[in-house]
Every structure is written in C-alpha cells, then in structure tokens.
C-alpha cells in the first residue's frame, strides 16, 4: 500500500529544493493521490496475490512521481532584469529561427523563435519581457505534433502581445501539441506583466513561439537548449 509518510516526506523535500508544485497541478495531484490510496487500500484489504499487489503498488508510486515531476515549477529569479533583453519563456529545444509573415496581429514580417517542450521539460511558461498586454486571443484548434510547421496556425493556442515601456511589441504564442490538451494563460488585455512571472502552463507536451522585430539581435540557434528565465533569446534595439 502507498506509504503516506514517505509521500509527504518527498513532498517536503520537493519544496525545500525550491522546486514547487505549479498551481495548475495541485488539484490534479491531490485527486490522483486520493484515488491511488483508495485503489491500493481496497486491493490491500481484498488480500490479493502479493506479487500482483506489489506491481500495482509500484506502478501507483511511479505514476504519482511522474505527475509530480511534470507539474514541477522551479523558482528561477532573473539575474539581470532588462527592458532590452528577451528571456526564454519556456524550457526546451529551439526548433525554429526564421523570418515569417504574421497574419494575426502585425501583418508584416517578424523573426520567429520557437521552443519545443517535450513531456520531460518544465511546462511553466514565463513572461519574457515586462510590459502591458495589448492583445490576447484564445484559438480552438487541432492537435498536430508541436514541431509541425502548421501547428502555429492550426493547433489550439493562445496569442499574447506585450508592449514594452520603449513601445516595442513582441508576440508570444502558446501552442498545444499532439499530447497536450489544454493551454492555460494568465494574460489579460491592459494587464501589466513583469518579466519572469508566470504567463501560463501547457499540459503534456507543447511549443511556444516568440515573434520579434526584424532588427532584434537573436542569440539562439536551432538545436539550442533553452531554460525559462535563464536563456537570452534576443536583445531588442
């Protein structure tokens, strides 16, 4: 049967290591723990075969650990806050660095940088630069694999445009992938957002696009590993 004492001890260590549980996962983790305890408790009192019970108990612990790991939210303070630096809004692999024509908001060329988040990456999305939210829109859509070129236009997604104090606008797009089924975004038009704070969360595999001015000095290349609030994506001019 699940050892409640060990589970609670691991949760305390989880917090003490500055790896907190994201708010989007708290209810999910709590409900999963309750159901696992109920299922394992019932099987324990039914006195089933010890070998089978051991396997189910092990799988329950592994499942709980995986979910706990997925919803982790490591606290990362920005060392050098700046109005000219665009930090990575997500952990993952840079899969796109190219000039595109944005047809949703700018209607003109922009430099697109895309970060793909595998199920193993931290899935918290962070505000890459401080400013006022000038545009927000949720788009219902498909669930193509997140690295698919058409996912930016066809998948479920949110689009956020932040205007810096210098008057520069950048676009951040959260995109749900083939595994991800829910995009959460905390942006609201008119809201002032601070560089590094939580922008949202995408559940179970996804991608984030950033659209920057053509004169931005891009500091990443395709294949680079990005860390939210740590990796510098670009310098604004």
What's the rounded mean pLDDT across residues 211-228? 95
48 vs 229 pLDDT, higher one: 229
Q: What is the pLDDT of residues 115-145, one digit of tens each?
A: 998 878 888 899 999 999 999 999 886 555 5
pTM greater than the 0.85 cutoff:
no
Q: Is the pLDDT of residue 16 over 90?
A: no
Q: Is the pLDDT of residue 6 over 90?
A: no
Q: In the chain, what percentage of residues exceed pLDDT 90?
A: 45
Which pLDDT does position 197 carry in this prediction?
Answer: 92
Rounded distance, CA 167 to CA 36, Å? 51
Tokens of 195: 């560089």
125 vs 70 pLDDT, higher one: 125
Q: Is the pLDDT of residue 215 over 70?
A: yes
Pick from 7, 120, 119: nearest CA to 57: 7
What is the chain's mean pLDDT, rounded? 82
Rounded distance, CA 92 to CA 83, Å? 23
Half-sphere exposure of residue 232: CA atoms within 13 angstroms, side-chain side: 14
7 vs 59 pLDDT, higher one: 59
Q: Could you say which of 3.90.1150.10, 2.70.70.10, 3.40.640.10, 3.40.50.2300 is the CATH number of the domain covering 85-235?
A: 2.70.70.10
Spell out the domain ranges in the chain.
4-74, 85-235
Out of 114, 151, 206, 231, pick the active-site residue: 206
82 assigned to active site: no
């Amino acid at each position: 049967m699940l050892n409640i004492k060990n589970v609670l001890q691991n949760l305390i260590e989880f917090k003490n290591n500055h790896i907190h549980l994201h708010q989007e996962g708290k209810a999910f983790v709590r409900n999963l723990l309750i159901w696992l305890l109920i299922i394992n408790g019932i099987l324990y009192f039914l006195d089933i075969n010890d070998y089978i019970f051991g396997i189910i108990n092990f799988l329950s612990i592994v499942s709980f650990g995986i979910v706990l790991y997925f919803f982790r939210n490591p606290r990362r303070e920005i060392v050098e806050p700046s109005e000219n630096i665009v930090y990575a809004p997500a952990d993952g692999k840079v899969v796109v660095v190219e000039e595109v024509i944005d047809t949703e908001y700018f209607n003109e060329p922009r430099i697109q940088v895309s970060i793909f988040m595998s199920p193993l990456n931290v899935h918290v999305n962070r505000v890459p630069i401080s400013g006022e939210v000038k545009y927000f829109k949720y788009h219902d859509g498909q669930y193509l694999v997140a690295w698919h070129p058409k996912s930016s236009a066809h998948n479920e997604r949110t689009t956020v445009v932040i205007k810096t104090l210098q008057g520069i606008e950048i676009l951040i797009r959260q995109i749900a992938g083939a595994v991800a089924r829910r995009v959460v975004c905390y942006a609201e038009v008119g809201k002032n957002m601070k560089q590094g704070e939580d922008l949202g969360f995408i559940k179970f595999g996804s991608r984030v696009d950033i659209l920057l001015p053509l004169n931005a000095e891009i500091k990443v290349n395709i294949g680079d590993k990005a860390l939210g609030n740590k990796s510098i994506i670009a310098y604004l001019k």
